[in-house]
Structure 1
Amino acid sequence: MLGLNLASNTSTEYCQTVDAGETWRAFVPLLGNDAGNADSVKIEAEFSQDAPSVPDGVTVEESSLSGGDTDEVISTGVAKNGTDSELRYLESISKLYAGDVLIGTSYTNLTGLPAGETWEFENTLLRRHEPEITKQEIVLST
């Protein structure tokens, strides 16, 4: 999580997963009427060491990316539960990149995916002022 504080105004941006050595170009809007006249900005970051985990047999079967140069970027895909049991919870995380720089993440989740079944998901990121999104990586997590 990356937080940006301006006087008494606070804005927070959250990135679901950033790999070791990866660069995240966070866009955090300044809030309040005086945001354009800020004398200073304080940036704080918090990190968790816990990596997303998914059981063997749970896979992304297909994915696509659209709107990389528009305000709304849409990442879609199909996840398959190839295990012998129901997944009580599954999350799809779309990591969206401009070249090799992580611009942001978007996620959605599902409860109760039966064994052998698939789940079609859609994740949306509002691009704001970031550069064009050129590629994605889908991460599944239980």
Structure 2
Amino acid sequence: MDSELVVDEGEYSTETYVAATLENQGDAPSGQITLTAEWYDSNGDFLDNDNKYLPILRAGETWEARVHALTDDEDIDDYELSGEYDPSPAKPPEDVEIVETDHEASNDGSVVVTGRVENNTGDEISYLEAEALLYDDSGVVLDGDWTNQSGIPEGETWRFEIEWFQFDRADRVADHDVILTTSF
């Protein structure tokens, strides 16, 4: 895992994050990946930590991850990055069908993934997550985000919307994938 501390001084605000590149070099998909950045000041004192999650990374895929600092940017001088992953990806629920999905980038730096999911289980779904992975034109995972819904009646369709903001990368999103799971 390669990583670096990035301090991006924009016109209106400063963004501080760890940019990391992870590759699944195995022959099977991973389960959820959790990256944790611990932030330190110039004295080496701990300030805070922040996490970034990705629901799955398939065999051979690369993730250009960013763990953003939610603490006071100007105090950050260094970081430590650690990661862990679940060796088994979440299994999609049976008889729940993704009817359609689409994504659209807007001028405000966001990407919106929309879709419809149909509950054909014969029962109410007590909890369902739709997790979107966003890819650039060479198949690199830029990020992922999610939404959820409780109490989806049998035979009904749930319309979902997942909005992702990254002003400097939204225009790189060329494709997406949606994964469903009933675990959280």
TM-score normalised according to structure 2 size = 0.68
Q: Indicate the residue corresponding to 2:179 in structure 1.
A: 139
Q: Indicate the residue corresponding to 2:100 in structure 1.
A: 62
Which has the larger share of strand?
A: 2
**Residue type of the alignment partner of 1:46:** E
Provide the rounded CA distance (Å) in 1 between the counterparts of 2:52 and 2:113.
19
Q: Indicate the residue corresponding to 1:20 in structure 2.
A: 59
Shift of 1:111: 1.1
Could you say which structure has the greater relative contact order, defined with CA pairs below 8 angstroms and 6 or more residues apart? Answer: 1
Counterpart contact for 1:68–1:133, Cα < 8 Å: no
Structure 2 stretches of 5 or more lacking a match?
A: 1-33, 41-45
Shift of 1:25: 0.5
Counterpart check, 1:48 vs 2:81:
no
Provide the rounded CA distance (Å) in 2 between the counterparts of 1:26 and 1:69.
22
Change (3 A) 1:17 1:70: farther
Shift of 1:70: 4.7
Identity of aligned residues (%): 27
Provide the rounded CA distance (Å) in 2 between the counterparts of 1:102 and 1:13.
14
| Count, aligned residues | 139
Counterpart of 1:27 in 2: which secondary structure? strand
CA RMSD of superposed structures (Å): 2.0
Q: Indicate the residue corresponding to 2:4 in structure 1.
A: none
Question: Which stretches of structure 1, 4 residues or more, deviate above 4 A after TM superposition?
Answer: none
Counterpart check, 1:4 vs 2:43:
no
